């Protein structure tokens, strides 16, 4: 049954990483969209028909793009990871911020 043990050991790590990156980044993306809508105001937000929508809030636009930037950074890390692994390097998180190390 050693295989089952190894698999479960790996599984929870994958689940954790999946939740942070696979669910966390999309949620951040959603927050970005929400902020943009808040920033744009008007038709971007749900409001009663017949009246003008909520006023625009420039701060929302800023926060929105900030969220997108973080998401983009996450995606870029993903690509760097794929490329680095292909060339025999690995992405290391030992220093918290990612660094590329030789295998």
Partner 1 sequence: MILVLVVVTALGFDFTNGFHDTANAMATSIATRALQPKTAVLLSGALNLVGAFLSVQVALTVTNAVVKIQNSNGTPKPALLVDGGSALLLIVLAGLVGGIVWNLLTWLLGLPSSSSHALFGGLIGATIAGLGWAGVNWNGNGTKLDGVVGKVILPAVLSPVIAGVVAAVGTWLIYKVVVGVAQRFTDNGFRWGQIGSASLVSLAHGTNDAQKTMGVITLALIAAGDWHDTKAIPIWVKICCALAIAAGTYLGGWRIIRTLGKGLVEIAPPQGLAAESASAAVILASSQLGFALSTTHVATGSILGTGVGKPGALVRWRVAGRMVAAWLITLPAAAVVGAVMWWIGHLIGGFAGALVVFVILLGLAGYMYLRSRRKPIDHNNVNDEWDDVPTPAAVPAGAAS
Residues within the interface to partner 1 (CB under 8 A): 2-4, 6-8, 10-11, 13-15, 17-23, 25-27, 29-34, 36-37, 40, 43-46, 71, 75, 78-79, 81-83, 85-88, 90-91
Integer Cα distance of 76 and 83 in angstroms: 11
Closer of 22 and 58 to partner 1 (Cβ) = 22
Q: Taking the complex as a whole, how short is the minimal distance between the CB of residue 62 and partner 1, in angstroms?
A: 16
Integer Cα distance of 92 and 80 in angstroms: 12
Helix (H, G, I), strand (E, B) or coil at 100: strand
Closer of 19 and 59 to partner 1 (Cβ) = 19
Which residues are CB-neighbours of 32 under 8 A, at least 6 positions away? Answer: 63, 64, 65, 66, 67, 68, 71
Q: Taking the complex as a whole, how short is the minimal distance between the CB of residue 21 and partner 1, in angstroms?
A: 4
């Amino acid at each position: 049954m050693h295989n089952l043990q190894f698999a479960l050991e790996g599984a929870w790590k994958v689940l954790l990483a999946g939740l942070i990156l696979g669910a966390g980044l999309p949620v951040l993306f959603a927050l970005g969209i929400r902020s943009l809508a808040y920033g744009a105001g008007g038709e971007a937000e749900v409001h009663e028909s017949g009246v003008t929508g909520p006023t625009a809030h420039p701060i929302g636009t800023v926060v929105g793009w900030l969220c997108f930037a973080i998401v983009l950074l996450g995606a870029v890390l993903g690509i760097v990871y794929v490329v680095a692994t292909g060339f025999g390097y690995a992405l290391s998180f030992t220093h918290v911020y990612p660094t590329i190390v030789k295998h």
